[in-house]
Amino acid sequence: MSAPLRIAFVGAGLGGLAAAIAAHRAGFAVAVYDQAHAFGDIGAGIQVGPNAVKALRALGLEAGLRQFGAMPERHVGRSWRSGRVLFRSETRSACLERFGAPFFQVQRSDLHAHLRSALPAGILRPGMRCTGVETRDDTAVLRFADGSTAQADVVVGSDGIHSAVRESLLGRDDPRFTGVICWRGQVAADRLPPGLIPPDSLNWMGPGGCVVHYYVRPGSLVNWIAHRKTDAWAEESWSVEGDKQELLDAFEGWHPSLQTLFHATERCYKWALFDREPLPTWVGERIALLGDAAHPMLPFLAQGGAMAMEDGIVLVDMLKHHGGNVGSALRRYEQLRKERATRVQLGSRARAEVCQVSSPWTRFRRDLRYLYDQCFKPGAAIQRADWIYEYDVAKVAA
């Protein structure tokens, strides 16, 4: 009886964990290395669309979402100053009826913990920063910052936009600053006036910026993200504390409800959005990339985590169905995933321009189109996402 395939995942994000769960259940020998020494509550929300829910369903983990996830009633777009509704699409009922899965908004750390709980002890190996990977004949060797090494039959880079695995595969290529700075924060619902934040996902669109807010941990916690175009560069990090006055200055004149939300926020964080052009390939003979290591996503379609989990499930399925032929399995994985993920990657970039239009004339034309849709094409906003949300990774892999 042959030994099980050894798969090393570098990066314990949502995609790496989802893939590791699938690989462990398939009988592979799995190790997940991550540079973090511990995983805590980073205070960031994430939207889990129907396609992401179906990915979790394929892992048998959908039910847990209902314990900590909020389901928005609607997706609503509003004008930055007046609060005028630009579009409104039913979400809670429409997603179930149209896509066969609900739409959740969750605390990222809650979802991360949910995925970690599905892995046996010993698979997740924190405090291991990978510095590079090389292939030697029939094995791949990982190098770590502490001087140690590890061997695997397949190495999967799930280590984000600054992926060390990607650099080993394709060479160094620094990501580009997009010209967008973000602030994020969270506010306990009981710190806000009753009724200020409806049970919807709201997107406030204004000149050169937008603000999104929604509930996580149903009814008890509001998550918000504010994007602003700027010429200034900022450090890319989820944990750099921001100056609240700088935030208030950047969004001066925006709707009073946003000012109330910002003022009620005790601590906010600031980071910069970086991007890459689509990569020529995601795979080598024993190396594969997934998630932001392969196709970094801007947040404007809320699909970064979803694409990573989809990648991971398809990758593991290809390794199962191609037996010991690792090269064929990885190439087939790329064939099945690259076109879709690239389309979402570029779509997220295009959506950023729609949400953050600076030109008054272009904003007027955009808002006029939204008005037309509201009158003659109710639900158009969510229908435009059909190609994203209707995808079922379990069927694609099969």
The three-class DSSP label of residue 92 is helix
Residue 214 is a catalytic residue: yes
Catalytic hit among 214, 269, 389, 391: 214
State how far the Cα of 145 lies from the Cα of 101, in Å rounded to an integer.
Answer: 42
- Backbone φ, ψ for residue 384 (5° rounding): -65, -15
State how far the Cα of 47 lies from the Cα of 307, in Å rounded to an integer.
Answer: 12
Q: Which two tokens stand for residue 168?
A: 């080993």
Q: Which two tokens stand for residue 321?
A: 């169905």
Beta-ladder partners of 7: 30, 154
Interacting residues of 202 by C-beta distance below 8 A, sequence separation 6+? 76, 77, 78, 212, 213, 214
CA angle 258, 95, 50 (to 5 degrees): 85
Q: What is the DSSP string of 226-266?
A: EEEE-SS-----SSPBP-HHHHHHHTTTS-HHHHHHHHH-S
Compute and round to an integer the Cα radius of gyration of the chain.
Answer: 21
Q: Which two tokens stand for residue 233?
A: 């560069």
Q: Which two tokens stand for residue 74?
A: 């609607």
Query: In the chain, which ranges are continuous DSSP H helix?
Result: 14-25, 50-58, 62-68, 92-99, 108-116, 164-170, 244-250, 256-264, 304-321, 326-355, 360-376, 380-383, 386-389, 393-397
Task: From residue 95, give the alpha-carbon distance in Å to each of 49, 66, 76.
Answer: 9, 15, 15
State how far the Cα of 197 lies from the Cα of 81, in Å rounded to an integer.
Answer: 16
Task: List the catalytic residues.
Answer: 214
